[in-house]
Amino acid sequence: MAEPLTATAGNGSRAKSVDIYAPQWRNFLFVAPYLFIFAAFLVFPLFWGVWLSFHKADTFSSGRFIGFDNYVRLFRDGIFLQSIWNTFYFVFLTVPALALIGLFLALCLNRQTRSAAVLRTLFFSSSVLSVTIVTLIWRIVYIPDMGLLSMIYGFFGAKAPAFLSDPDLAMIGIAIATVWWCIGLPMMLFLSALQQIPQDIYEAAALDNANRWQTLRSITLPSIKRTFVLVVIIQIVFQFQLFGQAWLMTKGGPNNLTKPIVLYIYNTAFQRWDIGMGAAASEILFLLILVAAMAQFLLTRRKADA
Amino acid sequence: MTLRKLFFATISAAAVMMASPSFAATELQVQRFFGACDADFGKNTDVSKAVGECGIITSLINKFAADNPDIKVNVTTVEWPGYDQLTAQFASGDAPDIVTIHESALSDYQSKGLLMPLDDLLKTVGVTPDQFTDAAKQGATKDGKIYGLPLDNWTMLYHINMGLFKQAGLVNADGTPMLPKSPEELLAQAEQFKQKTGKPYFVQNLANETALFTRNLYTYLFQQNSDFFADPKKVKFNTPEAKKVVEMYKAIYDKDYTTKNLDYAGAINAFLAGEGGVQLNGTWVVGDYNAQSEKPGTALNKGGYAVYPYPQLFSGAHAQYADGHTWAVSKKDRTPEQTAAIGKFLKFFADNDFEWSRTGHLPAYKAVIDSAKFKALPHRDTIAAIATLGKPLPSQVQRQFAIQDIVGEEMSAAVSGQKPVDKALADMESRVNELLANL
Amino acid sequence: MASHSAEIRGRSFGDRLLFGLVILLALAMAGPVLYVIALSLKDNKELMVDPHSVFHMPYTIKNYIDTIGTSNVFSWVLNSFIVAGGLTVLTLILSSLAGYGFARLNFPGRDALFVIVLLGLAVPEQAVLIARHQIFSWLGLHNTYPGLILPGLSSAFGVFLMTQYFRAIPKELDEAAILDNASRFRVFWKVLLPLTVPAQATLGIFTFLGAWNDYFWPLISATKKEMFTLTVGIASTQQNFAQSQGIGFLMAQAVFAGAPILIIYLFFQKYIVTAVSGAAVR
């Protein structure tokens, strides 16, 4: 993101200060503490996980090498394929909603009034709550008969939809709770992007008698395009790792329709004790996130070039 | 010289004082499910005042701690059934000393050598297997040794709102509820119930539920003599018998003879609020429901509460699925004091099994089940039969909780119409077999 | 903002529609929380008999008294503070050191190492969880504070952020100091570190919130109730909903659990907002 800056800073000073920037072993000491932790608790587990995924291993005994068997079993398992689909479906439900509602709120609340400040506080406040509190709140909203939703529907004499047990609604129910929980960050990011737009452009537009819609379309939106992409990518990567909401609200049901990949990993490794296959599923998750990260890299690259 | 002596004397005195509390109290890590209810029973040591699983287990442990000031009992309450956590604890070498384990799950941990055989320890405190009921002894014994102190045996029951049954005309001349004798009769009575009361016959917790489905299926497979686990490594679910059971529950679902979107707690609340005739729930709520029915103004107080075993709907064996709770002890290096403390704890629960049986569970001790005191508890006359009806899965079947999840998921999908019955049964069979083949 | 206020002045139909929509969304945000608070103020038995009683008197604070008397919620909150606070402090220290090292200093293999760290950004926590759980078992780190802190400390995000930030600081600043024979560490400590406070705030807040909300790792690592963090503790009470404790009690517990972080948020709102915005600008 800051590549242009890096480049200039690097080139500008190298020539005259070669002595300062000569490679020195003791400089390594600055990065050593972090690299140790990084190697021990991220790199090593990553490779250890790959090793496990080629083994028939359970929680209490590391087993024998079985090559790609765990992967073959995974892709023969309808539930695993279902969980991949569920994860994408969840991302599809939440990310556009988060981006669009976040943008909408930012546009509406980007003003220096007291009420706007209060509302900004309100919309960000849910983001600081733990996932377990969020799910507790939303289970109480959805619970039949005594939930908030059924109270509201009951007020109008209707029966509330069963958000957590209806096969068509369960994932939507989880998505709604998630949007409620996560809406703060996109809104904040958009707000700060909006404040970066130079005022004089707006003043010029006002002189041109541009109406609000035209201003929005030709000035505001183009100026925050980058932020929009940023928000979408952050949210894709984050929502892809869905676990807590699904586990605590539906346990992955009904009929595995709300079981995301991470929950599948949990089921396999910690409930069925099949560490090897759980590790194999983890590697698939890693590959999928890697693709998203590569897409991000290429996308931001292209933007920078253009 | 004297100064040095004084110095050492002070130091050692301080050391003794510092150390003595830890010598005095042997600490026991106890882990259990059955819920948390500290607000009501957190300090209660009068067990007779407690009601329900949570209240009684909490009070029993409080009583044990009060009786044994030299033992510090540190209780962790886990969400039911707690096996994810227990597995993680065993994996990390941090297992509790004493932990609740279902008889059906004992062999998972026992087969990995994680549990301590209890025969010798129990003998030292005077508890011998011949005191257990046959069902409890069978459930707690693996490879010829006792691996859990049995607490109870439990099964599922028909919990009946008699007020609604009267309204539906489903009461015999002698005042007992009219229960079906075949699947057809069940559907007919449910229809009659719905016509007369406008409410569903069944209150079931079907929302994201697996255990209830599975227990229902096992029970009616037993009643058709379907030996689906003839081979403990290979199950047969894709059978005409299983299809009959699933189709029966599907008919109940399709014809709105049951509540549909309730979770476990919701179903309890709905039943207590009088929103249906029969709740399918375990032995563990008998005590709670009976207490409710004695309170004026409640739905169960209006026409009464009755409780029966699952009706015999098929012509095979008279049986229904059963399981039991035990206290298991993790294998660990322990001081003699710690082992003795564990023995005392187990002995206490063996001695107080009557109190536990007030929950509605079947006692695990012959002396209790035969006692007049137990027989005099409310409703025990109608549910006494479960002592002979109860039938677990073969004990060699491993990962019974994981299997329960698979069976329940597939049956739920079939019952609610998300999958054709045949497909669901085929998937159920192949998924369970895939699991068992890869243990 | 001048032009904006000019826009607002004309209260058209469209304005009112937007205003209505925002208020609707605000209600959707606040409604569930208010409902939970209302439930927490009701007697459990009354709720069982009539759920609608939540909307009218009598209210009671009994559930809160019970929570204070019997619940473990305080120790959960404390654990969460220790874990999230510890992780934040350590992350700031390690990331700043490493960020300075990667951005300003040269040592053999620097660029290759930095690329490897960047690749670490793409590793989701869940992908290494199983292996990590085994490794922590070998090391006997489960059910300890280090066991809860170390995994988060390996995240590459902080190093990436700090490196970018150090690179953006003009080199002339530290070159002058180094030519004055100040040690590298002194330059880092006295000259550059004070300039990175905004980045530290951003990183600190994201790290703290991330650790505060983490659920999966504590779920499988903190299995003793003494070590439960807030997320795991609250979750452990949820499954037996209403069965034993009563809805009102559970809700009171949730309010207790949510309150500290909300209060912190309200107090430090300004900084948090600036910090979060800081992440977007770059």
Structural domains of chain B, with CATH: 24-150+325-384 (3.40.190.10), 155-322+398-437 (3.40.190.10)
Residue B419: closest C-alpha in chain A: A255
Confidence of residue A277 (pLDDT cuts 50, 70, 90): very high
Average pLDDT, chain B: 91
Q: What are the sequence ranges of the domains in chain A?
A: 78-305
Task: Give the model confidence (pLDDT) of B328-350 as tens digits.
Answer: 999 999 999 999 999 999 999 99
Q: Which secondary-structure segment (H or E) carries B30? A: strand B26-32
Strands B71-77 and B26-32: parallel
pLDDT at C62 over 90: no
**According to the per-residue pLDDT averaged within each range, which of A11-20, B112-121, C105-114, C118-127 is highest?**
B112-121
Chain-centroid distance of CA B19 in Å reads 41
Distances (CA, A) of A240 to A11, A244, B49: 39, 12, 50
Q: How many CB atoms neighbour CB C263 within 10 A? A: 10
More confident residue, A26 or C145: C145
**Surface-to-core class of residue C282, CB atoms within 10 Å of its CB (0-12 exposed, 13-18 middle, 19+ buried):** middle
Residues of B in contact with C140 (CB under 8 A): 92-93
**According to the per-residue pLDDT averaged within each range, which of A211-220, B8-17, B77-86, B427-436 is highest?**
B427-436
Q: What is the dihedral of CA B406, B407, B412, B415, to 10 degrees?
A: 150
Residue C46: closest C-alpha in chain B: B298
Confidence of residue A59 (pLDDT cuts 50, 70, 90): confident
pLDDT at B153 over 80: yes
Return the pLDDT at C7.
47
Mean pLDDT for the stretch of residues B13-22: 49
pLDDT at B259 over 60: yes
Mean pLDDT check: name the lowest of B32-46, C151-165, C173-187: C173-187
Residues 234-263 in C contacting B (C-alpha not used; CB under 8 Å): 235-246, 249
Amino acid identity, residue B400? Answer: Q
Return the pLDDT at B366.
94
Residue C236: closest C-alpha in chain B: B79
**Neighbouring residues of A204: CB distance < 8 A, sequence distance ≥ 6:** none
Touching partners of B (3+ C-beta pairs < 8 Å)? A, C
More confident residue, B396 or C89: C89
Closest CA to B257 of B236, B276, B233, B229: B276
Query: What is the spatial distance between Cα B406 and Cα B413, in angstroms, rounded to a whole number?
Result: 11
pLDDT at A13 over 50: no
> In CATH, what is the architecture of A78-305?
Orthogonal Bundle (1.10)
Q: Which secondary-structure segment (H or E) carries A149? A: helix A148-155
Minimal Cβ distance to C137: which of B34, B92, B273: B92
Return the pLDDT at B355.
95
pLDDT at A64 over 70: yes
Interchain contact, B266 vs A164, CB within 8 Å: no
Residues 57-116 in B contacting C (C-alpha not used; CB under 8 Å): 76-80, 84-85, 88-89, 91-94
Query: What is the spatial distance between Cα C29 and Cα A244, in angstroms, rounded to a whole number?
Result: 20
Return the pLDDT at B189.
96
Residue in the structure block whose two tokens are 């407690």: B50
Mean pLDDT for the stretch of residues B24-48: 87
Residue B399: closest C-alpha in chain A: A272
Mean pLDDT for the stretch of residues A193-221: 83
Return the pLDDT at C245.
63
Minimal Cβ distance to A286: which of C33, C113, C123: C123
Parts of chain C belonging to CATH 1.10.3720.10 = 71-238
Residues of B in contact with A153 (CB under 8 A): none
Task: Give the model confidence (pLDDT) of A236-268 as tens digits.
Answer: 988 999 999 999 999 898 889 999 999 999 999
Task: Give the model confidence (pLDDT) of B172-227 as tens digits.
Answer: 999 999 999 999 999 999 999 999 999 999 999 998 889 999 999 999 999 999 99
Interchain contact, B87 vs A79, CB within 8 Å: no
Under 8 Å CB pairs connecting chains A and B tally to: 82
pLDDT at A305 over 90: no
Residue A12: closest C-alpha in chain C: C171
pLDDT at B6 over 70: no
Q: At what angle do helices C13-40 and A131-142 cross, to 10 degrees?
A: 100
Please state the ipTM of this predicted complex. Answer: 0.87
Return the pLDDT at A226.
84
Q: What is the CATH number of domain C71-238?
A: 1.10.3720.10
Residues 25-44 in C contacting B (C-alpha not used; CB under 8 Å): none
Mean pLDDT for the stretch of residues C236-240: 67
Residues pairing with B327 in the sheet: B100, B149
